[in-house]
Chain A
Amino acid sequence: MATLDTASPAAAPVPATIADDPRPPRPDAQRLTVGRALGYLVMLVAAAAILLPFVWMVISSLKTNNQVFTVPVQWIPDPVVWQNYLDIWSRSQMTTWLKNTLILSVAVTSLQVITGSFAAYGFSKVRFKGRDALFLLYIGTIAVPWQSYMIPQFIMLSELGLSNTLWAIIALQTFSAFGVFLMKQFFETVPEELSEAARIDGLSEYGIWRRIMMPLSVPAIASLTLLTFVNTWNDYLGPLIYLRSPELWTIQIGLKTFISQYNAEHALIMTGSVLSVLPIAIVFLLGQRYFVQGIATTGLKG
């Protein structure tokens, strides 16, 4: 498994290096071993406590329904019931929900990366009047909770006829200040000499963005891609407000409705939850160093 200690090349509000403590080891070796054992013990207990809900989720999904709540808790399912993972597809619209969520996540992520990095180039590499004020406007909206302007936004998107379409969610998620901020932070670490050389060779600003900045920014693009993807996948409020037709539901809305419909089917609900978390868990484990870099670079998540 890839590890979380990675050095980010990006200029960061806080240096992104999550490397190990540079302090030299104590001379007192005896005390060190005891401290180390204690440290591991605390870490193990903490990790177990943090992961317990997920463990419970997975084991419950492998039980029959009346085995979920037993006294005492049955930690190893007996028998292991795989049936839930077959039943859920026929008893819910899981396929539709996953398809919609995937469409949204892919569309939002690609648009976010393209428009975000494009704007970031304007903010970091082109100098013009009013640029910094405009950028502050972007950053300032981070302090404004979406919940406080979701009503006028909804009124507006409804007027445009976008309510109850997937377009509403795409519009909602694509143009975040976060993407611009992350890419700008990264672009500013790329030496100006590279762009200079390219200009002398006759490349336009757009050419520099495409041929120089983008290829050099693969780590930052990866961070933005993963964070946006996960954010869109997990979004509950946007789809809740905008998507009313069941055939447009995302996995989060679908799962929530499923829970209210079958509120006594604990095992099946846990199966649905596992399936909704699984893609994110895989994406996270594959690309976790990019998550960490993205967050350390901006101090934000999506």
Chain B
Amino acid sequence: MSTLAADERPRPTAPAPAAPERPPARRRPGSRLALRNTLIGWSFILPNFLGFAVLTLVPVVTLFYVSFTDWNVFGVATWVGLDNVTRLVGDASFHRALLNTLYYAGVHIPLTLAASLGLALLLNRKMRGVAFFRTVAFFPYITSVVAIAVVWNMLFSPEFGPINQLLRAIGLADPPGWTTSSTWAMPAIILVSVWREMGYYMLLLLAGLQTVPAQLYEAARMDGANAWQRFLNVTLPGLRPTMFFVTVMLTIQSFKVFDLILVMTNGGPGQSTLVLSQYIFQKGFVENQFGYASTISVALFLLCISITVVQFLVNMRRDA
């Protein structure tokens, strides 16, 4: 993706006119300059990089090692080879967590995309007060998960909660039990997460809408295209790079979903909302099975990476 690639502008670092590349003839001074620049560059990067390497890179690499061990609380690691993988393949709870994660992602991603695109289109207009509505739509995203989860749990309360009161008022005699029902707990969580995240993706899409050239709309209008046709043939194609970025981010977010579920249902009732991240947490930090928890982590890691790679490949093919 072009936006993530490093900027390739020539950036002279010595008091010399901007030359695209150093001439190969002057080898000695060039390499000394290169060494100096390397030292200076690393001295800037090092304070952050040390922390980044120790806290992110090392754990990611260690993860694969730990996943092949039986690592207990006392820090004694025993190599068990593929035992953990065999166990994972036959683990019914893991299957459940994987399916629930896919369920969550499969419903959450399209719903959030639709909701945030709808909001972005609605709020991308010249009207007084639009900025206020953008603020409102974004607000749920910056509030803490705990507060959000607890208030929605109360709203979803089956007997006296406002949501079921409303459903009864419009004639639904037997409204769902939401977080107390194994069928409805996941829809309840998805509803809350869409509500929470749509404002954030709306901001990204709004920024993307600004990149669609106004002349294209003019031209389409001259050709007699109606609003729907303009949306299909101008807005959507123009929005594609943003849509791609949003989908990638949204997918990663969905596969690692955790804290909202942990506070709202704690995976329940039963295992009806147990997701991969939570299963890792449970095996690792509740049952102290670090080795096996790491094996589940590797599964989550590979899932996220492969889906991201597939998305990039599909996007490249469509660009070609």
Contact = CB atoms under 8 A, between A and B. Distances in A.
Interface in B195-233: 195, 199-200, 203-204, 206-208, 210-211, 214, 217-218
Contact of B280 (A72, A150, A270): A150
Interface string B129-145: 11111111111111111
Contact of B135 (A179, A209, A288): A288
A43 B137 CA distance: 10
Contact of B144 (A72, A177, A276): A276
A50 B204 contact: no
A18 B125 contact: no
Interface in B270-297: 276-277, 280-281, 284-285, 290, 293-294, 297
Contact of B6 (A47, A132, A171): A132
A233 B143 CA distance: 9
A265 B190 CA distance: 26
A176 B300 CA distance: 20
A121 B11 CA distance: 12
Contacts of B122: 39, 42-43, 46
B114 to A, nearest CB: 13
B144 A233 contact: yes
A17 B18 CA distance: 31
B13 A149 contact: no
A196 B252 CA distance: 41
Interface magnitude class on chain B: 35 or more
Contacts of A152: 58-60, 62-63, 66, 294
Interface in B105-120: 119
B170 interface: no
Contacts of A237: 258-259, 262
Interface string B232-272: 00000000011001001100100110110011000000000
A29 interface: no
Contacts of B103: none
Interface stretch (A53-61, A82-90, A214-222): A53-61
Contacts of B298: 148
A284 B41 contact: no
B86 interface: no
B55 A22 contact: no
B90 interface: no
A220 to B, nearest CB: 16
A13 B51 contact: no
Nearest to A13: B3
A236 B144 contact: yes
A122 B45 contact: yes
Given A19-B210, A205-B44, A70 B160 contact: yes
A118 B44 CA distance: 5
A241 interface: yes
A20 B280 contact: no
Identify which of B75, B255, B259, B290 gathers the most chain A CB atoms within 10 Å of its CB: B259
A69 B157 contact: yes
11 contacts: A13-B245, A69-B157, A124-B7, A141-B60, A145-B301, A175-B51, A236-B145, A273-B146, A280-B142, A291-B138, A296-B203
The 8 A-B pairs of least Cβ separation, nearest first, read A122-B44, A13-B3, A175-B51, A3-B131, A145-B256, A69-B160, A119-B48, A126-B41
Interface of B: 1, 3-4, 6-7, 9, 11-15, 18, 34, 37-38, 40-45, 47-52, 54-60, 62-63, 66, 71, 75, 119, 122-127, 129-148, 150-152, 154-155, 157, 159-162, 165, 195, 199-200, 203-204, 206-208, 210-211, 214, 217-218, 241-242, 245, 248-249, 252, 255-256, 258-259, 262-263, 276-277, 280-281, 284-285, 290, 293-294, 297-298, 300-301, 304-305, 308
Given A14-B204, A174-B51, 13 more contacts: A13-B1, A14-B208, A17-B210, A20-B127, A21-B214, A146-B256, A147-B277, A148-B60, A152-B58, A154-B284, A175-B55, A196-B15, A252-B145
